[in-house]
């Protein structure tokens, strides 16, 4: 079966750095997405990786290793507004997105 | 309209009733999707449409139907609602260049 694993919850301190991991087993691979979802709101797109390596976008970076079935989202200089759930999703061979359950990130002052 | 809109925002429904959730996008995206999101679970695909006039079944299609008469609209119908269909429903559309999906604000549905 297809499976996306990510930690259920993480806690970090304002101003610090946090890394949210995602491992996947899917039938085929056509890219990996990270989304941010604030409580009670819709998911919003953060990043897309299809090749191995690091993609940097401001305070957020996303890394992919296809051989290991592994990705991480790195958030730097954490702000209180970064408190949200972070969703990892993989596009399979049918170009359908398979979603992880999300990681709830709690930022403490 | 800017992006994707969904209606209603929330609804309480008696079991056995018929309900249609509406979704409209103005981005001229070909592909559209319906997901449900339940606590502790990832987003699960109900139905999708790759282009106007075509639809397909996702991971959890039972009890739901969709239609795609034009590019902009993708309604989701519950023919006879059951309590297990209590969930938050998100509509999304995707850009064919990048396959990135963009989500509507969601509909919170409670079936009693």
A1 confidence band (pLDDT: 50, 70, 90): confident
Q: Which of A87, A91, A100 sits opposite B99 (nearest CB)?
A: A91
- Nearest CB to B104 within list A42, A48, A96: A42
Q: How far apart are CA B94 and CA B102, in angstroms?
A: 6
In the DSSP assignment, the letter for residue A42 is -
Convert the pLDDT of each residue in B88-100 to its tens digit.
Answer: 999 999 988 888 9
Which pLDDT belongs to residue B1?
A: 52
Give every residue of chain B whose pLDDT is below 70, as ranges.
Answer: 1
Chain A residues in contact with B102 by the CB 8 A cut-off are 45
CA–CA dist B46, B64 (Å, integer): 8
Contact at CB, A42 and B58, closer than 8 angstroms: no
The pLDDT tens digits of the residues spanning A97-109 come to: 999 999 999 999 9
A20, β-bridge pairs: A73
């Amino acid at each position: 079966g297809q499976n996306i694993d990510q930690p259920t919850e993480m806690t970090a301190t304002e101003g610090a750095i946090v890394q949210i991991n995602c491992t996947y087993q899917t039938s085929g691979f056509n890219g990996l997405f990270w989304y941010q979802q604030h409580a009670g709101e819709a998911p919003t797109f953060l990043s897309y990786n299809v090749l191995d390596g690091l993609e940097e976008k401001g305070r957020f970076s996303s890394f992919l290793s296809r051989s290991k079935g592994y990705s991480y989202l790195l958030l730097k200089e954490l702000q209180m507004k970064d408190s949200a759930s972070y969703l990892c999703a993989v596009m399979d061979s049918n170009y359908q997105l398979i979603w992880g359950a999300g990681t709830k990130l709690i930022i403490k002052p | 309209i800017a992006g994707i809109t969904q209606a209603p925002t929330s609804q309480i429904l008696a079991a056995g009733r018929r309900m249609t959730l509406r979704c409209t996008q103005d981005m001229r995206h070909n592909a559209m999707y319906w997901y449900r999101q339940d606590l502790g679970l990832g987003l699960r695909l109900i139905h999708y449409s790759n282009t106007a006039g075509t639809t397909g079944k996702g991971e959890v299609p039972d009890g739901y139907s969709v239609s795609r008469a034009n590019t902009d609209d993708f309604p989701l119908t519950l023919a006879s609602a059951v309590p297990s269909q209590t969930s938050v429903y998100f509509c999304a559309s995707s850009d064919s260049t990048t396959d990135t999906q963009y989500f509507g604000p969601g509909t919170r549905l409670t079936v009693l």
